Amino acid sequence: MSDSNQLLVRRIRNGTVIDHIQYGRAMFVLRALNITGKEGNVVTVALNVPSSKHKKKDIIKVENRFLEKDETNKLALIAPHATINIIREYRLVEKRKIVLPDSIVGIFGCPNLNCVTNSEDIKSTIDVIDKTKIVMKCRYCGRALTVNELVS
Ligand SMILES: [Zn+2]
């Protein structure tokens, strides 16, 4: 990581830094975490930041909010290689990888238009059947789902 990137990550007193988001995905991450800016926290979004690992990346810094594991695991499909940095008093106190959860609730709409979750007020629930091969199924209509169908 270059010095300038280091600065982007470091200069936050308290909060969460989501680093190494695949470029172009920051907006999906914000939506999945329900970060709208209305909460009043300072939120910084950096797009297309030069990165040695993947050429370009997105970074999101949310000040004064410490994201919980079940929140950040929601990002498993959107930004599986992102790292979560929890900062307290300018110090990195926790560095976390994202883990694919057993089920993903209320994040993605089921692509099956006839699915009950699209017509009634039911939260979509996607069960992850195989975490290695990423095999997923809608709990309500049983449709097999691919990452591309959900994240687009
Ligand atoms: Zn469904």
β-strand partners of 57: 22, 49
Together in a domain, 20 and 46: yes
Q: Which CATH number fits the domain that encloses residue 53?
A: 3.30.70.140
Q: For residue 144, report the distance from its CA to the centre of ligand 1, in Å.
A: 9
For residues 134 and 41, give the distance between their C-alpha atoms in angstroms, rounded to a whole number.
34
State in Å: Cα 17 to ligand 1 middle: 33
User: How high is the pLDDT of residue 51?
Assistant: 87
Could you list the residue range(s) of the whole structural domain that residue 41 is in?
3-97
Nearest alpha carbon to residue 65 among 40, 97, 93: 40
In total, how many domains does the chain have? 2
Could you tell me if 13 and 73 lie in one domain? Answer: yes
Look up residue 76 and give its DSSP letter. Answer: G
CATH, residue 136: 2.30.30.20
**Distance (Å) from CA 102 to ligand 1 centroid:** 16
What pLDDT sits at residue 5? 54
Residue ranges in the chain modelled with pLDDT below 70: 1-10, 54, 152
Does residue 121 share a domain with residue 67? no
Same-domain check for residues 14 and 72: yes
71, 31 Cβ separation under 8 angstroms? no
Q: What pLDDT, in 10s, does the model give residues 67-102?
A: 998 888 889 888 988 999 999 999 999 999 998 889
Question: Which residues, chain by chain, have CB under 5 Å from ion ligand 1?
Answer: 110, 112, 115, 138, 140-141
One domain for residues 86 and 121: no
Q: Are residues 88 and 131 in the same domain?
A: no
